[in-house]
């Protein structure tokens, strides 16, 4: 229920208290009690008739329309009766201490509009005003057409379930895309790392070959140094002429390393292959992203299969 209803009831009761305190034998306390009773009856009746009866005036069934019409007539009668009774009670209670209720009923039956004091008419007008406000609030408290609130609630729940399901599917696709892209990006980074490792291996092989050639030269020089020392000692100890080969140096038979000449050992070719593979993997990421966007677009197309406006127009026809 609207939070304004208690506030409106309190305002109505405060105004009635000042009017009813005049004729109440209990003074202001009695006026408050009587004002609260009349306020609850006046506003409560307006809300009940508006919510349960008068809304049926827009119902498609003629029987329910009749119920709404009877409810509207009943509300008007009750609102007039309650507020007239309140205004008459104020005048009667100011002069009669006992039997005021009976006198009020008699006056309403004989001369309902026979109010003689301005304050009584003001009390009647205020009561009707607050009753109409409560009646309007009761009519707009929920959907004007009875039963539409439940239908709208179920529609909202179904729509929310559909949206949640669609978002879950899209999130699932996004997770698959991100997981696949993450793997591809990891492969691309690994290829770059392998490219650096390959370049280092090729450079190390070239350096090793140079060191091996240098090592063979070192062995030859060492052998010649040893032979020179030996031959000098031999010459000093000999009594006959030295052999002719003493004049020739030692020649080490060089071992030529086998150099692979295939494309696998060509750094330029390997670099081109890695760049081509990275380019293809990057294209795969683009294709996966395009497939994801196409799948999301297909999900969104479901919203246009049965537009709500068109369905509503067909149902209305």
For residues 191 and 278, is the Cβ–Cβ distance under 8 A?
A: yes
Angle separating helix axes 4-20 and 27-52, nearest 10 degrees: 140
pLDDT over 90 for what percent of the chain? 2
Look at residues 45, 255, 195 and name the one whose alpha carbon lies nearest to residue 54: 45
- Give me the mean pLDDT over the 217-244 stretch: 86
Q: What is the pLDDT of residue 50?
A: 79
Q: What is the DSSP annotation of 74-97? A: HHHHHHHHHHHHHHHHHHHHTT-S
Please name the residues in contact with 252: beta carbons below 8 A apart, sequence gap of 6 or more.
Answer: 216, 219, 220, 223
CA neighbours closer than 13 Å in the CB half-sphere of residue 12: 30
- Give me the mean pLDDT over the 193-201 stretch: 78
Give residue-wise pLDDT tens across range 255-283. 877 766 555 566 677 777 778 887 888 88
Q: What is the pLDDT of residue 222?
A: 92
Give the integer Cα–Cα distance in Å for 49 and 17: 25
CB atoms closer than 10 angstroms to residue 55: 24
Give residue-wise pLDDT tens across range 111-144. 778 777 777 788 788 888 888 888 888 777 777 6
Look at residues 36, 56, 51 and name the one whose alpha carbon lies nearest to residue 2: 51
Give the integer Cα–Cα distance in Å for 269 and 265: 8
* Alpha-carbon 145 to chain mean position: 31
- Give me the mean pLDDT over the 92-107 stretch: 67
Look at residues 33, 37, 6 and name the one whose alpha carbon lies nearest to residue 21: 33
* Alpha-carbon 124 to chain mean position: 52
pTM comes to 0.43
pLDDT over 80 (residue 209): yes
- Tell which wins on pLDDT, 7 or 280: 280
pLDDT over 60 (residue 91): yes
């Amino acid at each position: 229920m609207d939070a304004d209803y208690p506030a409106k009831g309190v305002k109505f009761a405060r105004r009635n208290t000042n009017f009813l305190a005049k004729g109440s034998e209990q003074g202001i306390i009695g006026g408050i009690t009587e004002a609260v009773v009349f306020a609850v009856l006046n506003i409560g009746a307006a809300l009940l008739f508006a919510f349960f009866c008068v809304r049926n005036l827009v119902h498609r069934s003629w029987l329910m329309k009749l119920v709404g019409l009877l409810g509207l007539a009943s509300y008007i009668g009750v609102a007039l009766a309650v507020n007239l009774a309140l205004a008459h009670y104020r005048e009667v209670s100011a002069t009669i201490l006992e039997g005021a209720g009976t006198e009020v009923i008699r006056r309403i039956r004989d001369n309902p509009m026979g109010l003689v004091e301005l304050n009584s008419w003001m009390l009647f007008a205020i009561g009707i005003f607050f009753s109409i406000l409560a009646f309007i609030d009761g009519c707009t408290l929920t959907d004007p057409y009875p039963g539409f609130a439940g239908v709208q609630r179920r529609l909202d729940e179904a729509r929310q379930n559909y949206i949640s399901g669609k978002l879950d599917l899209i999130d699932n696709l996004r997770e698959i895309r991100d997981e696949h892209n993450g793997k591809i990006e990891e492969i691309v980074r690994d290829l770059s790392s392998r490219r650096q490792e390959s370049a280092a291996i090729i450079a190390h092989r070239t350096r090793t070959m140079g060191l091996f050639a240098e090592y063979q030269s070192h062995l030859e020089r060492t052998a010649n140094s040893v032979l020179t020392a030996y031959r000098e000692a031999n010459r000093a100890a000999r009594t006959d002429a030295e052999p002719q080969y003493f004049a020739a140096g030692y020649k080490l038979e060089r071992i030529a390393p086998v150099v692979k000449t295939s494309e696998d050992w060509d750094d330029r070719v390997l670099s081109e292959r890695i760049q081509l593979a990275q380019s293809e993997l990057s294209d795969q990421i683009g294709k996966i992203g395009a497939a994801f966007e196409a799948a999301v677009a297909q999900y969104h197309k479901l919203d246009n299969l049965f537009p709500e406006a068109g369905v509503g127009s067909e149902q209305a026809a």
